[in-house]
């Protein structure tokens, strides 16, 4: 067809329907096409669509002279990887960093810049493994988190900025960080030696909580992620963290369906943060990502006479003991109670406060009652609720012989205070919430 | 809007810009377009058929006709057809398609190919 006859505007319209690849090919055809194909408006669209970039910034964070130069720089920097996978990984980190920058900037500040190909190869050489493709690209974009492993003198661990977050109940406190590659190498060597995981020589530690020994291992051969149970040190016992069926082609650079557990795990985590299933929690002046679900169906809510109770549970893999029939799985649950701003209203009569006296707690495993407890207080406390105040939150835990169960119950509250009751005690519902081994374990 | 220009064309018998054959392809387009606007798959099939039946040289004339008739939908459609025709093809194929010669300085083309090395994978056989 005759380009001269149709004119430049038509040529531009034709080019604007092309992919970046075909636009590049067009630029190699002749001077005229090179000029039209170099129009930066075309490349700014590609940078926006494929890399979510509104300004021309190269992979190292430096501005480039044009969007075309920017796109080129990205393609060259990742030329050895399937481009759709690169875009997918970039999007995943983009979502996580975006959520952090809005909600948890102090944690975003701990994210390290990506490693180079040379550093990846060196780590692979030392550990004698070959990282799955998606994980390599994940490290190219971000090399884990800067952290201080030393506990502060306050004894609280001093590190609450883990990207994966955690939970705490009684003295058990967990906050999971993503390890930088060089830390991963050191930690892997130390643990493999300590535990003697010679059969797991292709496993590397990728995430950990420095309190309570919670470690996540990436199996470089299969691409699956595993978390150590209570028997990690003695038996090397672990639980897979991602549905096996989803993992595919982790070492195949020819397809475009590569996904390993690390990528799937981080994408799922991003999803949960974005849809509010998990949120930041503030406790004792420190903020951290809490893994207790905040939304139904995993989190139940009930309001009785103005007293609102929210409840949800999280699976605790590092205490799970797959060899113990009775106490195979352990769940921690978080109960949040508050008094609505209208106050405590019983039969139309308002009271300005109420206080917890007793609990009735029923735990079921597979619909069979495991325990039915009727006792005073909650974790030894008698919370006093005032209207419109912040939630009173407490955490506890329960072992379970099965991977599925539930908790429900009620609290006995007294209007006014226990030392000065203003009326008769009343029951407040704790709506049933599930105890469930999740498909993604964090 | 579209029908004004078409009417004008038919009234103007001295008009040589658009041959009869082209008119029969371009003019039924608005109806066809509206009918299958909702169904993308059908549009694709129609596109493929058009591509098979129409030589690249004809496309020039089709585009010029659509341009003259101020028929934006048809123009966009033809431009998309051209874009699809050169999708995933080699530099030489695209050159032949547009009837162009390489007018680069010696060595410049090689430099360009190196610059765009990432675009040369998985290209169709000519």
Q: Which residue is listed with tokens 């040190």?
A: A233
Element (H or E) spanning A395, and its range? strand A392-400
Q: Give the three-class secondary structure for A92.
A: helix
Give the per-residue pLDDT at A192: 81
Contact between A30 and B102 using a beta-carbon 8 Å cutoff: yes
pLDDT in tens, A363-382: 999 989 999 999 999 999 99
Between the CA of residue A82 and those of A114, A137, A250, what are the distances in Å? Answer: 18, 10, 12
Between the CA of residue B38 and those of A49, B26, B31, B34, B51, what are the distances in Å? Answer: 25, 20, 13, 8, 21
- For residues A155-170, average pLDDT: 81
Of residues A14, A22, A33, nearest to B79 (C-beta): A14
Give the per-residue pLDDT at A352: 92
Instruction: Decide if pLDDT at A203 tops 50.
Output: yes
CB A432 within 8 A of CB A335: no
Cα separation, A378 vs A198, whole angstroms: 45
pLDDT in tens, A130-157: 999 999 999 999 999 997 654 444 434 4
Confidence of residue A426 (pLDDT cuts 50, 70, 90): very high
What is the SS3 string spanning B41-91? HHHHHHHHHHHHHCCHHHHHHHHHHHHHCCCHHHHHHHHHHHHHHCCCCCH
Averaged confidence pLDDT in chain A = 92
Contact between B100 and A24 using a beta-carbon 8 Å cutoff: no
Which residues 6+ apart lie within 8 Å of B55 measured at CB?
none
Helices (H) and strands (E) in chain B, counts: 8, 0
For residue A31, how many other CB atoms are within 10 A of its CB? 14
Of residues A18, A29, A79, nearest to B83 (C-beta): A18
Give the right CATH number for B1-87 from 2.40.30.10, 3.40.50.300, 3.90.1140.10, 3.30.710.10: 3.30.710.10
Which residues 6+ apart lie within 8 Å of A153 measured at CB?
none
Contacts of B120 in chain A (CB under 8 A): 25
Contacts of B101 in chain A (CB under 8 A): 30
Cα separation, A178 vs A195, whole angstroms: 21
Which site among A20, A25, A45 would you substitute to test the B interface, given the most B Cβ atoms closer than 10 Å to its Cβ? A25
- The pTM of this model reads 0.88
The CB-side HSE value for B5 (13 A sphere, CA atoms) comes to 15
Q: Does A1 touch chain B (CB under 8 A)?
A: yes
H helix intervals, A153-286: 181-195, 232-235, 261-274
Contacts of B79 in chain A (CB under 8 A): 10, 13-14, 17
Contacts of A22 in chain B (CB under 8 A): 83, 86-89, 119
Which chain B residue's Cα is nearest to A25?
A: B91
Q: Does A22 touch chain B (CB under 8 A)?
A: yes
Tokens representing A114 are 């990506």
Contacts of B116 in chain A (CB under 8 A): 24-25, 27-28, 72
Tokens representing A406 are 């539930």
Among candidate residues B4, B52, B10, B56, the one with its CA nearest the CA of residue B30: B4
Longest dimension (CA), chain A: 95
Please state the domain extents for chain B.
1-87, 88-126
Give the per-residue pLDDT at B12: 46
> How many angstroms separate the first and last alpha carbons of chain B?
42
Of residues B60, B80, B89, nearest to A6 (C-beta): B60
For residue B49, how many other CB atoms are within 10 A of its CB? 10
Tokens representing A346 are 């019983």
Cα separation, A383 vs A413, whole angstroms: 10
């Amino acid at each position: 067809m005759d380009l001269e006859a149709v004119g430049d505007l038509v040529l531009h319209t034709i080019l604007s329907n092309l992919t970046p690849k075909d636009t590049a090919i067009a630029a190699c055809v002749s001077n005229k096409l090179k000029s039209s194909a170099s129009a930066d408006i075309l490349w700014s669209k590609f940078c926006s669509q494929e890399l979510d970039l509104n300004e021309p910034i190269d992979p190292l964070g430096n501005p480039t002279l044009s969007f075309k130069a920017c796109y080129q720089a990205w393609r060259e920097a990742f030329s050895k990887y399937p481009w759709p996978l690169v875009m997918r990984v970039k999007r995943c980190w983009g979502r996580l960093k975006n959520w952090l920058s809005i909600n948890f900037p102090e944690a975003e500040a701990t994210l390290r810049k990506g490693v180079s190909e040379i550093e990846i190869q060196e780590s692979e050489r030392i550990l004698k493994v070959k990282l799955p493709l998606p994980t390599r690209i994940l490290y190219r974009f971000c090399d884990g988190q800067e952290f201080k492993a030393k506990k502060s003198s306050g004894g609280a661990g001093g590190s609450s900025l883990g990207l994966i977050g955690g939970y705490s109940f009684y003295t058990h406190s967990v906050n999971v960080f993503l390890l930088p590659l060089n830390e991963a190498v050191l930690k892997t060597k130390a643990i493999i030696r300590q535990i003697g995981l010679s059969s797991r020589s292709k496993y590397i530690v990728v995430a950990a909580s420095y309190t309570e020994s919670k470690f996540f291992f990436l199996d470089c051969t299969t691409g699956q992620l595993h978390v150590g149970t209570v028997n990690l040190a003695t038996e090397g016992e672990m639980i897979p963290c991602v549905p096996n069926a989803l993992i595919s082609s982790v070492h195949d650079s020819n397809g475009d369906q590569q996904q390993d557990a690390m990528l799937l795990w981080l994408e799922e985590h991003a999803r949960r943060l974005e849809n509010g299933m998990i949120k930041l929690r503030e406790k004792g002046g420190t903020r951290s990502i809490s893994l207790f679900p905040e939304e139904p169906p995993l989190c139940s809510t009930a309001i009785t006479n103005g007293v609102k109770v929210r409840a949800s549970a999280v699976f605790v893999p590092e205490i799970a003991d797959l060899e113990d029939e009775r106490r195979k799985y352990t769940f921690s649950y978080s109960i949040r109670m508050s008094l609505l701003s209208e106050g405590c209203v019983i039969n139309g009569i308002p009271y300005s406060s109420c206080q917890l006296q007793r609990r009735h707690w029923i735990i079921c495993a597979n619909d069979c009652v495991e325990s039915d407890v009727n006792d005073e207080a909650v974790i030894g406390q008698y919370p006093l609720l005032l209207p419109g105040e912040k939630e009173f939150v407490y955490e506890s835990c329960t072992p379970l012989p099965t991977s599925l169960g539930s908790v429900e119950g009620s609290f006995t509250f007294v209007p006014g205070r226990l030392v000065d009751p203003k009326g008769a005690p009343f029951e407040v519902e704790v709506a049933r919430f599930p105890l469930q081994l999740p498909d993604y374990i964090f | 809007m579209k029908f004004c220009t078409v009417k004008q064309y038919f009234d103007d018998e001295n008009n040589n810009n658009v041959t009869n054959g082209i008119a029969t392809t371009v003019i039924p387009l608005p109806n066809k377009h509206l009918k299958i606007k909702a169904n993308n798959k059908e549009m694709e099939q129609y596109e493929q058929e058009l591509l098979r039946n129409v030589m690249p040289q004809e496309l020039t004339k089709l585009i010029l006709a659509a341009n003259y008739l101020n028929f934006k939908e048809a123009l966009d459609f033809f431009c998309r057809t051209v874009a699809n025709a050169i999708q995933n093809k080699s530099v030489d194929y695209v050159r032949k398609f547009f009837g162009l010669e390489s007018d680069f300085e010696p060595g410049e083309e090689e430099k360009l190919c190196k610059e765009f090395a990432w675009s040369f994978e998985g290209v169709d056989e000519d």
